[in-house]
Amino acid sequence: MLEIQSQPRITLPLRLLPASPTPPPSVLLLDHRFPRRRFPRVRCCSGGGNGGSTKPQQLQQRRAYPFDEIEPRWQRYWEENRTFRTPDDDLDMSKPKCYILDMFPYPSGAGLHVGHPLGYTATDILSRYKRMKGYNVLHPMGWDAFGLPAEQYAIETGTHPKVTTMLNIDRFRSQLKSLGFSYDWDRELSTTDPEYYKWTQWIFLQLLKRGLAYQAEVPVNWCPALGTVLANEEVVDGVSERGGFPVIRKPMRQWMLKITSYAERLLEDLDDLDWPESIKEMQRNWIGRSEGAELEFSVLGSDEQEQGLKLLVYTTRPDTIFGATYLVVAPEHFSLSSLVSKEQEKYVEEYRELAARKSELERTDLQKEKTGVFTGSYAKNPATGEPIPVWVADYVLGSYGTGAIMAVPAHDSRDYEFAVKYKIPIIRVVEPAGTSFDLDGPYVDDGVLVNSSNMSSDLNINGLMCKDAATKVIDWLERTGHGSKKVNYKLRDWLFARQRYWGEPFPVIFLNETGELIPLPESELPLTLPELEDFTPTGTGEPPLAKAKTWVNTIDPISGKPATRETNTMPQWAGSCWYYLRFMDPKNSTALVDKVKERYWSPVDIYVGGAEHSVLHLLYARFWHKVLYDIGVVSTIEPFQCLINQGLILGEVEYTAYRDKVGTLLSADSVSDVGEYTQERIPVEKVTKAGDFHVLKDDPSIQLISRSYKMSKSRGNVINPDDVVSEYGADSLRLYEMFMGPLRDSKTWSTGGIEGVHRFLARIWRLIVGAPLPDGSYREGTVVTDSKPTLEQLRFLHKCIDKVSEEIQETRFNTGISAMMEFINAAYKWDNHPKPIVEAFILLLSPFAPHMAEELWFRLGHSCSLAYERFPMAKSEYLKDSSIVLPVQINGKTRGTILVDEECSEDEAFKLASLDEKLSKYLHGKAIRKRIYVPRRILNVILDQQKVHA
């Protein structure tokens, strides 16, 4: 028999719910018989868009089940009873823990669309499951609320960013609660709260103390229209990602964080993380470790004599030094002005101005045509002794290596393209080993060195393989003083300043007399933002905070001397770098996080979020965590042990037809790449399927293009979860998003799909509660029986338990739901539905559809929430298809049955009988004379002179 065992748990009486399912007066519920609007399908016309809200298309007279009564009631119960609160000071740390975290959202004015709850539902299922498995679960939610969008809205409307942010947070919170997520709302935090960013500022001070924060004059992406510096990823094709404004490269004094000091550790520690391999590879590529050499090229004068100026270059291929036929310096190289001849000065300056308008991503795009200008100078190749020209070209970055390269066009694709364009000599110095060399273009693989010997420089690497030649060249560079071995990284120090108002103020001041930088004492934290009414850019590069004169002009609290505050603010990344730690101890006013709590909860066991954050946010957070580890604040070397990237939910399939220039419809398979065509969206009701293609109903010869797109307001394909919940209920939305396909894959939204899941939930409801009464209402209790489960029922149940348990743990939620569907299909064929079977199934359902599960649990007579009930465990004896029911006799009289495998031995059968609750009372303490066992037929136990009572 199935046993539903309770575990020690936090339980509260269902004081919100009366004995009957009639809702209490304090909860506003809608009559399920009242006509309600249907959830609108995506409109077929393009453009415009209003966040997915469209006019209702038809009315529904009756709900499939009364979710509109159930869901508000249980959300109210959970909130008022703080069902999912994780105890703080009174936490039982002897229990295992599981910290499950969503990448916390930026609360935009648009609110959620149905793509957002995908990851949130997955973490909620895992959190509910782990609670029911006896874990202390930490599952919090908060807001990454500083940032450019709120500031831009403030500039446009005059509304203070704080006001906009709070309204957006309220909207997001309301939407999340409407979906029944089991967050511990007592731990809610916002990065804009001074009590939170006090500790962001504290972390900055620790970085400053350790020389990991510094100021430097660096070229930045400056957007005059937005009045701020943008990160590389915020610039697309030379314009700002937000607003599409022109961006230029401009040298500015900026705060930098020395993340490069941790490059090697950030790289090495990836190996031990349970992350997608693709994400780890992205971080490895971003860090970009390479081994090579730094070497010096002496700049020559017009008389070809060394002038004392040396160009330091970095190369990963020192073996190709004899093939270096020119040098390239970046447009922002600090020595460029010293290299430019008078004749070339005008051309170089024009080129520098053009390069300043390009982002680093544009400059390094391999598909872009390479451009450059000759500086007028030459340098001496130390291996050949020959003069080679020095060029300036924007495909070399000042931020990588030394900002200068030796160009070997025979063995590098970029250098080859450049050399061909500008007619620079190409000397091949590497050939494939053991084969003839006849290649049109650069040879970039390993091989044997040729044309690589010079007696004057005492260097000969002819005949060596590339690796051995590189080692010999480095030895020669170090022996002759021309260079040395060098490990380099593509990773650059983190640009950590923004010319914005809506961000964390830097806790530093500058003495007016000397300009000396003074960190604020920790006792002065938090340094809060001043109130401003004008958030517009100054136009000079000076941040908006410079307008707050009374705030900017201050006094050094130590010396009493006049001082000026820093008017840049920290980037949005700052607050999101460490929020996972504050969730462990959100009310602590004396420390960032309590050491005991941090040791218990760290690291985050499961971290779920979009792949778009997998490099920058995660890299920055890992960097800060390692600094905090070094100073003893945290006990683990990594913050996030397991990372899961959920896929996108795309908008519903759109159907497109082609028309030629005279307006005739054309089949998609007949349209060529050459010709003038227009595209036209076709409404779904005019489309039908023909084989593998979609065609027009009225003209099946017209084949259509069917495609799904990422949800966006501009396409008008955004689905608002509020509308879905109104029409189908939160449980249907949760279940559908998990049923659409594997969590990590992208999926296409389908209103027809959610209708199917909604019908499945209605079948569960009717199976347990019964059919609706004539007036459309439902009985108060259930139709569940007190009968003993049959072997068939137990087998179906335990196979379902086994499958659902495994699939939850492996985050294969779609197949777990399929197992529950198979169980319900089988259950509809039974004559009765025993209570132990139904109770166990409700517990299986509860992580996926918690509102319905709570209601059914209550209707079965339970007075406490099921949130902490023990999750059912599958019994192996019911999982074997070869199991049989074996009668057991005591002294020849049948006293019960046991479930055994067909090949069960006599000893195994007797052991199972001894463990059976009913049979054990006849056998415990009795002397056994003999056992009679007929395999697959009977077990008869003969007791020694004992009287057996009926």
C-alpha span between 704 and 335 (Å, rounded): 59
Percent of the chain with pLDDT over 90: 66
pLDDT grade for 39, boundaries at 50, 70 and 90: very low
What pLDDT does 947 receive? 53
More confident residue, 659 or 840: 840
Residue 437's pLDDT is 63
486: amino acid identity, one letter: K
Residue of higher predicted confidence among 809 and 367? 809
Task: Report pLDDT for 59.
Answer: 33
Mean pLDDT of 861-874: 96
> Cα–Cα distance between 435 and 158 in angstroms, integer?
72
309-359 pLDDT per residue, tens: 999 999 999 999 999 999 999 998 989 999 999 999 999 999 998 888 776
Confidence of residue 112 (pLDDT cuts 50, 70, 90): confident
- Residue 438 is predicted with a pLDDT of 65
Residue 18 has pLDDT above 60, yes or no: no
pLDDT in tens, 504-548: 999 999 999 999 999 999 999 999 999 988 887 776 778 899 999
Tokens of 933: 């066992």
Under the banding of pLDDT at 50, 70 and 90, the label for residue 196 is very high
Residue 436, pLDDT > 50, answer yes
Mean pLDDT rounded to a whole number for the chain: 88
- How far apart, in whole angstroms, are the C-alpha atoms of residue 292 and residue 318? 7
Average the pLDDT over each of 175-179, 440-444, 837-841 and give the range with the smallest value: 440-444
- Among 169-178, 485-494, 840-849, whose mean pLDDT is lowest? 485-494
For residue 44, what pLDDT band results from cuts at 50, 70 and 90? Answer: very low
Pairing outcome for strands 430-431 and 448-449: antiparallel
Helix (H) or strand (E) holding 824: helix 813-827
Residue 5 has pLDDT above 50, yes or no: no
- pLDDT at 127 exceeding the cut of 60: yes
Report the candidate in 246, 283, 287, 298 with the shortest Cα–Cα distance to residue 264: 287
User: pLDDT digits over 70-80, tens only?
Assistant: 999 999 999 99
Q: Give the tokens for residue 156.
A: 């446009």
Model pLDDT, residue 29 = 30
The whole-number pLDDT of residue 155 equals 83
95 has a pLDDT exceeding 70 = yes
Q: What is the pLDDT of residue 613?
A: 79
Which range is least confidently modeled, 12-26, 392-406, 549-563? 12-26
123-162 as b/e: b if 16+ CB within 10 A:
bbbbbbbbbbbebbbbbbbbbbbbbbbbbbbbbeeeebbe
Is the predicted pLDDT of residue 152 greater than 50, yes or no?
Answer: yes
Q: What is the pLDDT of residue 945?
A: 67
* Beta carbons of 626 and 266 less than 8 angstroms apart: yes
Helix/strand/coil for 346? helix
Edge-to-edge strands, sheet with 553-555 = 517-519, 508-511, 562-565, 553-555
Least confident of 173-182, 770-779, 808-817: 770-779
Task: Provide the pLDDT confidence category of residue 233 given band limits of 50, 70 and 90.
Answer: low
431: its two tokens: 């050939």
Helix axes 730-739 and 67-81, enclosed angle (nearest 10): 90
544-589 tens-digit pLDDT? 999 999 999 999 999 999 999 999 999 999 999 999 999 999 999 9
Residue 8 has pLDDT above 90, yes or no: no
The larger pLDDT score, comparing residue 218 to residue 136, is at: 136
**DSSP secondary structure letter of residue 916:** S
Q: pLDDT band for position 622 (50/70/90)?
A: very high
pLDDT at 609: 94
**pLDDT at residue 366, rounded to an integer:** 64
pLDDT score recorded for residue 22:
35
Instruction: Answer for the pair 286, 490: CB distance below 8 angstroms, yes or no.
Output: yes
Q: Are strands 142-143 and 136-138 parallel, antiparallel or unpaired?
A: unpaired
pLDDT tens for each residue of 670-701: 877 666 788 888 898 899 988 888 999 988 98
